[in-house]
């Protein structure tokens, strides 16, 4: 595997091509614009489809159409664009259409600014569109993972017939690091449910509308059963220095990179600190967190929002372990030294 110096946003498109993605439909928005730019450059060169839609709403509905035909496809955006895509994502989930959507978070609410944020956690993890549904949510923290997680997203989308969100932030999308180019994936699985020119698919129906309440209930319950299977098998996390830890740092995305440095500083001072990073925000790696809650004295959750993931963690470990919170907003990211100071305050 060869190395190439790339931005995180550019690495997304490398991962998509290596995963066999055949079509990109998007509309540029900072700080995610490089994803569309790189797709415009590389998809046609690889004899694949790039189309800049007239809007984010159009882009997500193009994904709906292409996925209905059994094509591996994707789109990408940032906060305001993701809000416009929410209705389409709900339709994709309801129709069980595999798709990959990349969100490079910027500061909100409203237009906000183009600096990094994790303010879209609730929107992505809880299902920002209407109705009862879930999307798998992957949270990369490096250029390498922007590529690798995008590849995994296509595999998971096809495996479970579900939209998969790659939830990044402006720092991870814009920073440059060496990317070790992976080997391409094998051919995607057959999709007998898709709508194709073949006669055997003439009776296939892809829809999200069930006017009969009994049919609607059966459909939603079938989705819930699928969600339960995903929760059993697809939760992932990265844990370090937790065997003797008394306090565990918890964060995702760019914050987890800061926590890695804070962990090193704390250990250098003899503090028994560990590190927990959810790589899947849904399904959340609850079992691993619960196991830690039996052994440690405190959790410190660090986010660049007003406190979103911390509420989920408190629900998981309720009554077992105190959960503290630290944050910055507006585009700021805490420094390792600030995190270390908070750790010392909690320990005191």
Distance CA(205)–CA(217), nearest Å, equals 18
> For 297-323, what is the mean pLDDT?
96
1 pLDDT band (50/70/90 cuts)? Answer: low
Angle in degrees, CA 11, 281, 148, rounded to 5: 25
> For 264-281, what is the mean pLDDT?
98
> For 237-260, what is the mean pLDDT?
98
Task: Extract the tokens encoding 332.
Answer: 């700021």
4 pLDDT band (50/70/90 cuts)? Answer: very high
Distance CA(211)–CA(213), nearest Å, equals 6
Burial class (CB in 10 A: 0-12, 13-18, 19+), 37: middle
Q: Is the pLDDT of residue 23 over 90?
A: yes
Mean pLDDT (the chain) is 97
Strands 247-250 and 273-278, by their bridges, are: parallel
Burial class (CB in 10 A: 0-12, 13-18, 19+), 63: buried
Q: What is the pLDDT of residue 38?
A: 98
Q: Is the pLDDT of residue 143 over 80?
A: yes
> For 127-147, what is the mean pLDDT?
96
> For 168-173, what is the mean pLDDT?
98
For residue 69, report the phi and psi dihedrals to the nearest 5 degrees: -90, 5
- Report the 3 state secondary structure along 72-111: CEEEEECHHHHHHHHHHHHHHHHCCCCEEEEEEEEECCCC
Q: What is the pLDDT of residue 207?
A: 95
Distance CA(5)–CA(268), nearest Å, equals 31
Domains and CATH numbers, the chain: 3-233 (3.40.50.970), 238-347 (3.40.50.920)
């Amino acid at each position: 595997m060869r190395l190439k110096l790339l931005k995180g946003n550019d690495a997304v498109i490398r991962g998509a091509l290596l995963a066999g993605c055949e079509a990109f439909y998007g509309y540029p928005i900072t700080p995610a614009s490089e994803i569309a730019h790189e797709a415009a450059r590389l998809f046609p060169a690889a004899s694949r489809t790039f189309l800049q839609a007239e809007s984010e709403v159009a882009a997500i509905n193009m994904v709906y159409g292409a996925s209905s035909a059994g094509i591996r496809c994707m789109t990408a955006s940032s906060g305001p664009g993701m809000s416009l895509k929410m209705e389409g994502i709900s339709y994709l989930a309801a129709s069980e259409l595999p798709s990959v959507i990349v969100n490079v978070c910027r500061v909100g609410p409203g237009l906000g600014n183009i600096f990094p944020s994790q303010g879209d956690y609730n929107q992505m993890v809880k299902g920002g569109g209407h109705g009862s549904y879930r999307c798998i949510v992957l949270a990369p923290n490096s250029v390498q993972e922007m590529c690798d997680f995008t590849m995994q997203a296509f595999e998971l989308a096809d495996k479970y017939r579900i939209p998969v969100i790659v939830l990044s932030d402006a720092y991870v999308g814009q920073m440059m690091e060496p990317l070790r180019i992976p080997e391409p994936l094998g051919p995607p699985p057959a999709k007998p449910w898709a709508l194709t020119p073949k006669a055997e698919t003439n009776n296939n129906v892809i829809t999200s509308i069930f006017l009969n309440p009994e049919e609607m209930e059966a459909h939603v319950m079938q989705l819930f059963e699928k969600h339960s299977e995903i929760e059993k098998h697809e939760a992932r996390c990265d844990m370090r220095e937790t065997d003797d830890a008394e306090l565990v740092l918890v964060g995702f995305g760019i914050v987890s990179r800061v926590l890695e440095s804070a962990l090193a500083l704390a250990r250098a001072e003899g503090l028994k600190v560990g590190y927990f990073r959810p790589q899947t925000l849904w399904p959340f790696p609850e079992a691993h967190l619960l196991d830690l809650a039996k052994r440690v004295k405190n959790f410190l959750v660090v986010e660049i929002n007003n406190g979103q993931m911390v509420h989920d963690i408190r629900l998981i470990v309720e009554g077992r372990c105190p959960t503290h919170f630290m944050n910055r907003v507006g585009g700021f990211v805490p420094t390792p030294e600030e995190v270390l100071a908070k750790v010392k305050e909690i320990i005191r």
